[in-house]
Structure 1
């Protein structure tokens, strides 16, 4: 029963950490890898990746529906007031515009999501929201998040599991 609880808690923590970034999924995977048997660790890593996909899909769908409702991502017909120019605001605007362009592209979008899911740059939380606004393909989004997070969690878990057992 404790093995089942380990796997189910990894699934739940995957969902929680993907919606509330304060909860660190890599730390949780490391603890599971140190405490559980290697076979259970592998299943827990898989469950954590699935949970992360579920949470990120939740953010993706919310952002997608919100952008439809509020017209985000559409041209403002020149009615948008420019922000006072500072270097940081200019850099932030240019970076978000570039990220939206990448996420809106059918080839660069999944690669950007995969990079965010595996390396963390750009942050996956931000990418999930922006991908929803950019109308990225939801299946490609889910697959890229799953593959990236599975790889990231495996990179964390394998050395710890080998050292602990």
Structure 2
């Protein structure tokens, strides 16, 4: 293995972690730019970003779950719900059903995988929602990794085929 490939992988992983925590740093654009600019191989850029995204998302879930023991987080979470209109009531019911599905072992991993590779539902809010469910971090991490790996490899090889 050459040092260049290792540096590409480490740089891509670091960018993936950064982009998982701060959404303005977009990993998809990084993978595209790495192929257009030619500064990283397809597999190292895609794999590094996918691994970094997984590390960052798992870290976010763990941090949010541990933060739930802070008093101010409990006060916000446990405050009584205010009466709402028809639209808010409908959205709240849909949201409660989705949270129930995410927490189930049968549907949760599939929802996270679809979110990671086709953005339905978006992964960032889903990550925040997973922190409030019973979903295991051990199941969440590989689902994010597999979905992001599929997405980033498709982007990297697609752009590379168009550019080269």
Q: TM-score, normalised by structure 2?
A: 0.85
Structure 1 distance, partners of 2:11, 2:101, is: 34
Structure 1 distance, partners of 2:68, 2:55, is: 20
* 1:16 equivalent in structure 2: 18
Query: 1:66 Cα deviation (Å)?
Result: 2.8
SS in 1 for 2:130: helix
* 2:114 equivalent in structure 1: 115
Matches within 5 A, 1:116-131: 116-131=115-130
Structure 2 distance, partners of 1:91, 1:65, is: 30
Query: 1:37 Cα deviation (Å)?
Result: 7.0
Structure 1 distance, partners of 2:24, 2:39, is: 27
Query: 1:12 Cα deviation (Å)?
Result: 1.1
Q: Deviations over 1:88-120 (max 9, x none)?
A: x22431232122111110110001100110111
Q: Which runs of 5+ in 1 are unaligned?
A: none
Q: Deviations over 1:35-87 (max 9, x none)?
A: 3377x221121011000001101111122223355459x9x6xx723333151
Query: 1:10 Cα deviation (Å)?
Result: 1.2
Structure 1 distance, partners of 2:138, 2:109, is: 10
Matches within 5 A, 1:1-165: 3-36=5-38, 40-69=41-70, 70-71=73-74, 80-87=80-87, 89-165=88-164
Structure 1 distance, partners of 2:45, 2:57, is: 18
Q: Which runs of 5+ in 2 are unaligned?
A: none
Structure 2 distance, partners of 1:151, 1:94, is: 32
Structure 2 distance, partners of 1:48, 1:20, is: 14
Larger displacement relative to structure 2 (130-139 or 142-151): 130-139
Equivalent residues of 1:34, 1:161 under 8 A apart = yes
Count of aligned pairs:
159
